[in-house]
Amino acid sequence: MPATTAEAARAPSLQAENVSKAFVSGNQRTQVLDGLSLSIEAGELTLISGPSGCGKSTLLAVLSGLQKVDGGRVCALGSELGQLDLRALERFRLQHTGFVFQGFNLFPALSAFEQVELPLNHMGLSRDEARYRAQQSLEEVGLAHRMRLRPSELSGGEKQRVAIARALAKRPELLFADEPTSALDAANGQVIIDILHRIARTHGTTVLCVSHDPRLVVHADRVLAMEDGRILSDRRSEAPATDSHGNPS
Amino acid sequence: MVALARKTLVYEWRRFLPAILAVGFAGLLQLLQIALVLGIFGSTSLYITGSSADVWVGFPGTQSVSLGRTINADLQSRILMDPAVERVEPYLWVDGDWRGAHETGGVSVFVSGIDTRADGLMYSRVLSPALRARLAEPDAIVIDRSAMDQLGVDIGQTATINGRRVRVVGISTGLRALGGVNVLCSLDTARQLDSDPSDDGPTYLVAKLRDPAQAEAVAARLRGDTAFGPYTAWSARDFANISVHYWLFDTGAGAGVLFLAGIVFLVGAAITSQTLIAAVNGSVREYATLNALGVGVGALRKVVLEQAFWVGALGLLGASVLGIVLMLLARSQDVPVVLNVTAALACIILVMGLAAVSGLAAMRSLRRADPANLLR
């Protein structure tokens, strides 16, 4: 796929135009996103960073179609998410998106392999295809030897890699990650960052990551700093991004 | 397809155990209740189900075997004229007052005067040929094992019924009656015991047909004639149903069964739904993640319903095993318990309905599985 990504990479796959979102609790109205616009390109690891409460998780929810906006437009892969009803949004997510959350959210009863296979069953793939993809994704995150184990037998870093494999096996164009490293130690966090970065590069996936983890900043292709529902700075890494071992990727 | 519902049930069995137990006990309670009621009230049709007669002829409007009146004895030849009828024999019912060898106070007994020939129709299914033959002796009676204490007699001892002496020549099983004690004797003995001088005919005439399948048709045919005074005819099955229904609904037992079924259902559903809701809440983040990945709410609901189904099925299995053991135990103690297909089916429907309602209740908790909540 790398040949085609070179061109596709430059077309924005996610676009927000003048997006606003507020939460009301009691009489208190909190403006979380305030007339925010941005576009995110494929084949890159984009990081949204900022202090807690700055609205970065809400931005992720809005861009991924998990929440509706109060005003403005969100376009993902050419579809305007505001136009889609609940069913259509579910279908859109099933076809095009992957998610990785801070908590790993794995079913205690299922093996790593089954965690990855489960969503694939709902995509209308054949049994063999689902198993092939599950196997491949787990190999890609380096868990080929651990895939028969249940979450209770895996370390935190391994659990997050299973969660990434679960998202990756769907072969999504969009991969959203919310604080994927904050529950992990430095070494495991590093592994996760590398994997996310590699996914963006090798699969041409739009990887949008929300984190306040400073370790991530170095590895992102683009860093958006947020505060009070607005984007303060938009910085591209000048040097080619490198993986954790300093090798050019 | 990854069997999420089943794997979770197996892996987290401790979480689901209360629901399985609740469903199981609800099923067991209902099963035993129905079996007991059917057993007790089924004994009111023992006279019919324990005999091999296909058609019964008795007084019109009779609501239960124990409530018959005498009919004209000449009817016997009228019935025999029907080409479908193979044999006819009289059956005499006498209500008696018992005085045993020991002081027992008054005990009311239901005296059944029957044909004692080896191929007699009455009680052919519950009375052994040897005991039947012994009834031919004058004043001989047979009683049920469970009634020995109640009547205060043992085999070989004498007692009086309606002031006449009788002798216990045998003890049988399966002759339990409701509201009194069954006493079996020959037709001759029964006539001696009948203190009402106005009774001159049999209480019933029972007929065996060449083809038992014709029972309904023959009964209908016999009913049309009025030449021999008031009488009517039933197929054995219809008459047995009439008897059981009379007792079930006239005594309020039927309403009791339904009432308890309602309570059992409510309590079972309350416990089961709470357990299933807790199980859904325990996995709500995982369900939300699946929904974020695009697995529809409908598919998640199916997982919850499938869990409810397995809880119901496992509860039912436990209830069946325990129920069979308890029923065998009851049988060995002469406690009348009977289960038929309809009753078993009713239990299954109740239990699975309970599980389904609980599953539907638990499904509502899936609303909390909103993936946006995961982004905090």
Nearest neighbour of B293 by CB, restricted to A106, A119, A127: A119
Taking only the tens place, the pLDDT of each residue in B133-148 is 999 999 999 999 888 8
Measured between beta carbons, the chain B residues lying within 8 angstroms of A117 are 2
- Pairing state between β A97-100 and A12-25: unpaired
- Digit-coded pLDDT (tens) for B102-112: 777 888 999 99
Token pair 């007669």: residue: B53
For A169, the closest chain B residue by CA position comes to B293
Residue A238: its pLDDT value, please? 63
pTM of the full structure = 0.77
Contact A122 B295 (CB under 8 A): yes
Q: Which pLDDT band, with edges at 50, 70 and 90, does A248 fall under?
A: very low
Task: Give the minimum alpha-carbon distance from B213 to chain A in angstroms, rounded to a whole number.
Answer: 55
Residue A4 pLDDT > 70, yes or no?
A: no
Residue B12 in contact with partner chain A when CB distance is under 8 A: yes
pLDDT for position B187: 94
Residues A12-37: what's their mean pLDDT? Answer: 90
In A, which residues are within 8 Å of B288 by CB distance?
A: 105
pLDDT beyond 60 at B130:
yes
Q: What pLDDT score does B150 carry?
A: 86
- Chain B residue with Cα closest to A89: B294
Instruction: From chain A, pick out residues whose CB is under 8 angstroms from the CB of B4.
Output: 107, 109-110, 118
Give residue A150's pLDDT.
Answer: 96
The rounded percent of chain B whose pLDDT value lies above 90 is: 63
Instruction: For residue B296, give the nearest of A90, A117, A178 by CB distance.
Output: A90
Q: A121 φ, ψ to 5°?
A: -60, -30
Which has the closest alpha carbon to A40: A171, A163, A173, A168? A173
Chain A residues whose CB is inside 8 A of the B290 CB are 118-119
- Taking the alpha carbons of B255, B257, B260, B261 in that order, is the dihedral positive or negative? negative
Q: What is the pLDDT of residue A180?
A: 93
**Are residues B192 and B204 in contact, defined by beta-carbon separation less than 8 angstroms?**
no
Locate the chain A residue with the closest alpha carbon to B289: A105
* Residues of chain A contacting B303 with CB distance shorter than 8 Å: none
Collapsing DSSP to helix, strand or coil, B215 comes out as: helix
Whether the CA torsion B244, B246, B247, B252 is positive or negative: it is positive
Q: Please, what is the average pLDDT of chain B?
A: 90
Which domains does chain A show, CATH number per domain? 41-65+85-236 (3.40.50.300)
Inter-chain contacts counted by CB atoms under 8 A, chains A and B: 93
The band of A7, judged by pLDDT with boundaries at 50, 70 and 90, is very low
**How close A128 comes to chain B (CA, Å)?**
11
- pLDDT confidence of B375, banded at 50, 70, 90? confident
Taking only the tens place, the pLDDT of each residue in A146-181 is 999 999 999 999 999 999 999 999 999 999 999 999
Residue B242 has pLDDT above 80, yes or no: yes
**Residue B254: per-residue pLDDT:** 78
Q: What is the mean pLDDT of residues B154-166?
A: 91
For residues B26 and B295, what is the distance between their CA atoms, to the nearest angstrom? 35
Tell me the chain A residues in contact with residue B283 when contact means C-beta distances shorter than 8 Å: 107
Helix (H, G, I), strand (E, B) or coil at B167: strand
At residue A101's C-alpha, the angle toward residues A99 and A105, to 5°, is 100
The tens digit of pLDDT for each residue in B46-99 reads 899 899 999 999 999 999 898 899 999 999 999 999 999 999 999 999 999 998
pLDDT class of A2 with cuts at 50, 70, 90: very low
Residue B295 touches partner A, C-beta closer than 8 Å: yes
| Nearest C-alpha in B relative to A106 | B286
What is the pLDDT, as a whole number, of residue B143?
93
How far away is chain A from the Cα of B145, in angstroms, using its nearest Cα?
56
Grade residue A239 by pLDDT with cuts at 50, 70 and 90.
low
Q: What residues have CB less than 8 Å from B155, skipping those under 6 apart?
A: B168, B169, B170, B171
Interface test with B, best of A97, A122, A129 (most B CBs within 10 A): A122
Contact B4 A109 (CB under 8 A): yes
In this model, does residue B221 exceed pLDDT 60? yes
Beta strands in B115-237 (DSSP E): 140-144, 158-161, 164-172, 181-186, 204-209, 232-235
Pairing of strands B107-114, B55-58: unpaired
- In this prediction, residues B190-211 reach a mean pLDDT of 89
Q: What is the 3-state secondary structure (H, E, C) of chain A?
A: CHHHHHHHCCCEEEEEEEEEEEEEECCEEEEEEEEEEEEEECCCEEEEECCCCCCHHHHHHHHCCCCCCCEEEEEECCEEHHHCCHHHHHHHHHHHEEEECCCCCCCCCCCHHHHHHHHHHCCCCCHHHHHHHHHHHHHHCCCHHHCCCCHHHCCHHHHHHHHHHHHHCCCCCEEEEECCCCCCCHHHHHHHHHHHHHHHHHHCCEEEEECCCHHHHCCCCEEEEEECCEEEEEEECCCCCECCCCCEC
Model pLDDT, residue B335: 82
Question: Domain segments of chain B: what residues?
Answer: 1-44+252-373, 70-202
pLDDT of residue A217: 85
Structural contact between residues A200 and A207, judged by C-beta atoms closer than 8 angstroms: yes
Nearest residue on chain A to B285, judged by CA atoms? A105
Mean pLDDT is lowest, of A5-9, B164-168, B187-191, for A5-9
> Residue B1 and residue A127: Cβ atoms within 8 Å?
yes
